[in-house]
Amino acid sequence: MSTLIAYANIHQPFPMDLALGCGQNKLNPRIQQRYHCRQLAQFLLNKLCKKAQINTALLGQIYRTASGRPQFPVENIDFNISHSGDWVAVILNVAENEKSAVGIDIEFPQKQRDYPALLSHFASPLEQQWFAQQSHPEKAFYRIWCLREAILKSQGVGIVKLNEVQHDPVAQTLHSAYCPQGQLTFTAEFPFYLAVFAEQSAVQNAQYFYWHEDKLQPKLLQNCLNYAVNSSK
């Protein structure tokens, strides 16, 4: 089993065949940004497939589930995409003989938010009490937010179910009826906050890469939080 994660910024230089922005100059900035992010996500997924030695013809077979989640037509290979601001991140998981399920969420804060007010809509009293004691409220908020998004996205479930995820920030456990048992990692080491979920325990051995100088460069995490998801212990 292998889990690969890659990230990049839409303003970085890329090969000409990616052609970011080609023919899109008349779009408004927000639509243009989304278009660039989609193109970059496809590019990174292609690179990860090649690194994992997966036939890239599989990329042409991606379909959407009833919930709108894009995925491959094989159960043992899964991917997920997230973008925030100008940043894009992609996760790819290849399992041996079991079903694969992964989710990823990145958040690049661009403005101050009323974190306590937002948390009151979906976080438990335990989480809100924990949040009030934290010295870095932005990091604490996006930890609570990103981990929920990552596990829900593994099944194509929307943020309307955020409040149904049980999160214990002290014990570092998560429970949700909308995802299988697995592991989740949260980190603030990137230019954005990142949470990645993978079924079973593949995420703790994940390989991280960033696009630089025309290739995927390895990135080693120095400080991250690991969560048990739907653990029976």
End-to-end CA distance of the chain: 23
DSSP state of 130: H
Q: How far apart are CA 231 and CA 153, in angstroms?
A: 19
Q: What is the pLDDT of residue 203?
A: 84
Over residues 60-109, the pLDDT tens digits come to 999 999 999 999 999 999 999 999 999 999 999 998 878 889 999 999 99
Q: Read off the pLDDT of residues 21-43 as tens digits, 9 standing for 90 and up.
A: 545 556 688 888 888 899 999 99
Question: What is the chain's percent helix, strand, coil content, to nearest 5?
Answer: 30, 30, 40
Q: How confident is the model at residue 131 (pLDDT cuts 50, 70, 90)?
A: very high
Question: Radius of gyration over alpha carbons of the chain, in Å?
Answer: 18
d(CA 103, CA 190) in angstroms, rounded, equals 17
